[in-house]
Structure 1
Amino acid sequence: MSQVLHTPPPTATDPAETPAQLAARYGLAVSGARPSLPEYVHQLWARRHFITAFATAKLTSQYSQAKLGQVWQVMTPLLNAAVYYFIFGVLLQTKKNVPDYIPFLVTGVFIWTFTQSSIMAGTRAISSNLGLVRALHFPRAALPISFCLQQLQQLLFSMAALVVILLCFGVPISISWLLAIPALVLQFTFNAGVSMILARLGARTPDIAQLMPFILRTWMYVSGVMWSIDKLTKNDNLPHLVTVALKLNPAAVYIDLMRFALIDSFHAHQLPPHVWAAATGWALLAGVGGFIYFWKAEETYGRG
């Protein structure tokens, strides 16, 4: 007796059924679809160890080909500070009427370098890591955040040299140094937010990375890295809006907060009004806004 196997006839589909309805009926989901914002935050937190390990690995490999190795983490901002001191402090005499000018300058250079390097690395976070983005499934915000964390780690190495400079120039250890911790937390949040904004823009238009050095150089010159905004704005030659813009410039706000925390000759009257409110506001605006802006394009990264 032969046995005949009968397969059930295929289920008829409704011609009017949309692809979305058909996928829902069979329990299918879009590959790489953007998760909800709370789920996205949860996924990032679940990969926090990957973020820190990736940042540390990048930092370790950054100067692996140089003979001095990790010494360049400290030497690079110090050499920049030396160049700025010669040009602005000696030739242009901006050090006049600025107490503790070398600690003032070195603090500004170190803190500015943190913002500059974070933004530059964030701009290329997606476009320079397409192989990783296309090979693995993970929340893409982990990349710009890890690059900002890498720059924070590098800043902390540099801070050891900064402390030595402060002590050598007679700046005493003070309880106010603890204010550097919340100032750095706010600056890191701001840097990460701006980096995520530029990471999304850079993923779509890689040429932005070529433009950023010119924008950042201009931003540095108006941020009081080498000169005192307080001294400049005391004159009545500047329009009021320019004075307000200079004082509320986020880079200048974070630099001034660190100078106020670390240098005893940098007094509160040199800070813009409500400086902590301004620092917090910039951090929330850039951090939250940048995160949401980046998340909205999550499913587009690495495609095309």
Structure 2
Amino acid sequence: MTPASAPPRPLPPDLTAYALAHGLAVSGARPSLPQYLRQLWSRRHFVAAFATARLTAQYSGTRLGGLWQVLTPLLNAAVYYVVFGELMRTKDDVPDFVPFLVTGVFVWSFTQSTLTAGTRAVSGNLGLVRALHFPRAALPVSYALQQLQQLLVSLGVLAAVLVCCGQLPGPSWLLAVPALALQTLFNTGAALVLARLAARTPDLAQLLPFLLRTWMYASGVMWSVERFVRDDGVPGVVRVLLECNPAAVHIALMRYALIDGYGAAGLPAHVWALAVAWALVAGAGGLVYFWRAEERYGRG
């Protein structure tokens, strides 16, 4: 019998043990969580470069370019001022209404844009996901970093508006740093959750704007949650939900840090503990939730 006609060598009955014995592994298999975190950390330069490149290209097709990073929240604030401040007279119940409103709009816009971007993190980069091997969490994390970079640019405009309204910088402004750090961790975790959900259900991207608009109206962006919950006619469950709302917590902390007239009496009880709890739950929970579907991204 010639070698060409020799029968094939029979495979061992236990293919798993055979593959392990020769150092083989399932292609695209999900690594352990510690390994996944190490892989994600090793791609930190890619995450930063990808976020910066997307931020640079975001408004490259417009005449005003990067100015839209600050014009968008300012225009939103102007519209809300006319509708809620002037027509609905909300400003009569809120001292320093312009700083109150502008701070709320900028802080809310950070959460809104991060979550909206999260829905496109995987589904909008299928070519990259299918062509290269890397921890997929790098995509929603880079999108969250892009929105943080955009916010940092916008904060200069927010500071200028506050100064023009008589809110001069003081030691309390330093509290904005931990407040933004906690909000960033929460936003990133929520973006990871939405990235996994939208990867399997693209229709989520169409539904999300309605959910975010509802959430915005319940978060005290243009009205005072504190004055509302102090009303004796508000049910206890509604009061707790409004005060524990993570978006309302982040907005309240930033207003407390930046606005002189927004004292500690306007903060929900245990506000810093709430912010830390939301950041840890969303950050850690979102990462684990996203990691558990790692091997399914880009398939089907």
Shift of the alpha carbon at 1:118?
Answer: 0.3
Q: How does 1:96-135 map to 2 (within 5 A)?
A: 96-135=92-131
Cα displacement string for residues 266-294 of structure 1 (whole angstroms, at most 9, x for unaligned residues) = 00011011100000000000000000000
Q: How does 1:50-69 map to 2 (within 5 A)?
A: 50-69=46-65
2:188 & 2:194 partners in 1: Cα distance? Answer: 10
Q: CA deviation at 1:5?
A: 9.2
Paired residue secondary structure (1:195)? helix
Matches of 1:11 and 1:61, distance apart in 2: 56
In structure 2, runs of 5+ residues without a counterpart are none
CA–CA separation in structure 2 for the residues paired with 1:243 and 1:66 = 44
TM-score computed with the length of structure 1 as normaliser:
0.95
| 1:5-44 map, 5 Å | 12-14=10-12, 17-44=13-40
For residues 78-120 of structure 1, what are the alpha-carbon distances to aligned partners after superposition, in whole Å with 9 as ceiling and x for unaligned? Answer: 0000000000000001111311110100000000000000001
Q: Residue 274 of structure 1 corresponds to which residue in structure 2?
A: 270
Could you say which residue in structure 1 is the equivalent of 2:238? 242
Runs of 4 or more consecutive aligned structure 1 residues displaced over 3 Å after TM superposition: 8-14
- Measure how far apart 1:27 and its partner are: 2.4
SS of 1:96 mapped into structure 2: helix
Does 1:218 find its partner at 2:214? yes
Q: CA RMSD of the aligned region, Å?
A: 1.7
The residue number in structure 2 matching 1:286 is 282
SS of 1:273's equivalent in the other structure is coil
Question: Partner of 1:95: helix, strand, or coil?
Answer: helix
Q: Superposition pairs for residues 143-182 of structure 1, below 5 Å?
A: 143-182=139-178
Greater radius of gyration (CA): 1
Counterpart CA distance in 2 for 1:38 and 1:246 is 36
Q: Look up the equivalent residue of 1:50 and give its one-letter code.
A: F
Q: Which whole-Å deviations, capped at 9, do the CAs of 1:227-251 have from their partners, x for residues lacking one?
A: 0001111111110110111011000
Question: Could you tell me how far 1:184 is from its partner in structure 2?
Answer: 0.6
Q: CA deviation at 1:12?
A: 4.1
| 1:13 Cα deviation after fit | 3.4
For residues 54 and 164 of structure 2, what CA distance do their matches in structure 1 show? 32
Deviation at 1:32, TM superposition (A): 1.0
* Whole-angstrom distance in 2 between the partners of 1:84 and 1:257: 21
Shift of 1:42: 0.5
Q: Distance in 2 between matches of 1:75 and 1:187?
A: 22
Q: What secondary structure does 2:92 align onto?
A: coil
Q: Which stretch shows the higher mean deviation, 205-214 or 21-30?
A: 21-30
Deviations 1:206-241 (A, max 9, x none): 011110000000000000000000111111111011
Task: Trace 1:69-88 onto structure 2 (pairs within 5 A).
Answer: 69-88=65-84
Paired amino acid for 2:171? I
Pairwise CA distance, 1:20 = 1.8
Q: CA deviation at 1:31?
A: 1.0
- Give, in whole Å, the separation in 2 of the partners of 1:281 and 1:177: 22
User: SS at 2:108's partner residue?
Assistant: helix
* Whole-Å separation in 2 of the counterparts to 1:119 and 1:172: 32
State the TM-score, normalized to the length of structure 2. Answer: 0.96
Per-residue deviation at 1:25?
3.2
| CA distance in 1: counterparts of 2:103 and 2:129, whole angstroms | 36
How far the C-alpha of 1:11 sits from its partner, in A, is 5.0
**Bigger Cα displacement from structure 2, 80-89 vs 23-32:** 23-32
- Percent identical across equivalent pairs? 63
Counterpart residue type for residue 211 of structure 1: L
